[in-house]
């Protein structure tokens, strides 16, 4: 299981102004909830979170005040123009759920890679077939041209006799 560890800070200020101030300082507001746990408002480092969210089937290990929690991203809110992360909802997962998510993600990635390989091999075969067809067309055209040239020369030779 590939977890990404991120250290977070508890958050006490709420609202648009507080969130903007937090983002200017390089942090992203986030909420951790689920499994009967009380909702926890945290701030996570923007750059580390952005890099972590690129992974498929991500399980984060968030450490806040020395307490580690396994979470999975539920909702990621982005700026519609700049595409920067504005807020993240994280849901608490158990170790078994985390392993299941990771296994499912690995299977999905393997299936995509197999499909991409099949497509690229098929494209290579299609390109070879197209090259063969083009070569056959060129040979046929050259053969037709040679026949028409020979036909044109034959009446000229008969006329000369």
User: What residues does each domain of the chain span?
Assistant: 3-93, 106-161
> Could you count the other beta carbons within 10 Å of the beta carbon of residue 8?
25
Cα–Cα distance, 79 to 81 (Å, whole number):
6
Look at 1 and 118; give whichever has higher pLDDT: 118
User: Mind listing the pLDDT tens digit for each residue in 130-144?
Assistant: 666 666 666 666 665
What tokens appear for 152 in the block?
Answer: 């044109």
> What value does the mean pLDDT take over residues 54-71?
86
Task: Name the CATH architecture for the domain at 3-93.
Answer: Beta Barrel (2.40)
With H, G, I as helix, E, B as strand and everything else as coil, classify residue 17.
Answer: helix
Look at 14 and 128; give whichever has higher pLDDT: 14
Cα–Cα distance, 146 to 114 (Å, whole number):
47
Q: What is the mean pLDDT of the chain?
A: 79
Residue 30 is predicted with a pLDDT of 92
Answer yes or no: is pLDDT of 129 > 80: no
| Cβ atoms of 85 and 77 closer than 8 Å | yes
Answer yes or no: is pLDDT of 1 > 50: no
- Please tell me which of 4-18, 116-130, 147-161 the model is most confident about, judged by mean pLDDT: 4-18
Residue 29 is predicted with a pLDDT of 93
User: Mind listing the pLDDT tens digit for each residue in 21-55?
Assistant: 888 899 999 999 988 888 889 999 998 888 888 88
With H, G, I as helix, E, B as strand and everything else as coil, classify residue 50.
Answer: helix
Give the residue from 14, 2, 68 showing the smallest Cα distance to 43. 14
Look at 144 and 102; give whichever has higher pLDDT: 102
């Amino acid at each position: 299981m590939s977890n990404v560890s991120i250290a977070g800070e508890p958050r006490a200020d709420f609202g648009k102004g507080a969130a903007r101030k937090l983002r200017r300082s390089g942090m992203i507001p986030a909420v951790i909830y689920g499994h009967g746990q009380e909702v926890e408002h945290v701030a996570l480092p923007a750059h580390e979170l952005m890099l972590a969210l690129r992974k498929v089937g991500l399980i984060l290990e968030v450490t806040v005040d020395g307490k580690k929690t396994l979470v999975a991203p539920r909702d990621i809110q982005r700026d519609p123009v700049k595409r920067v992360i504005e807020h993240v909802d994280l849901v608490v997962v158990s170790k078994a759920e985390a392993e299941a998510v990771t296994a499912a993600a690995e299977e999905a990635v393997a299936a995509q890679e197999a499909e991409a390989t099949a497509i690229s091999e098929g494209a290579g075969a299609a390109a070879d077939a197209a090259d063969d067809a083009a070569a056959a067309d060129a040979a046929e055209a050259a053969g037709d041209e040679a026949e028409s040239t020979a036909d044109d020369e034959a009446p000229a030779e008969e006329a000369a006799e």
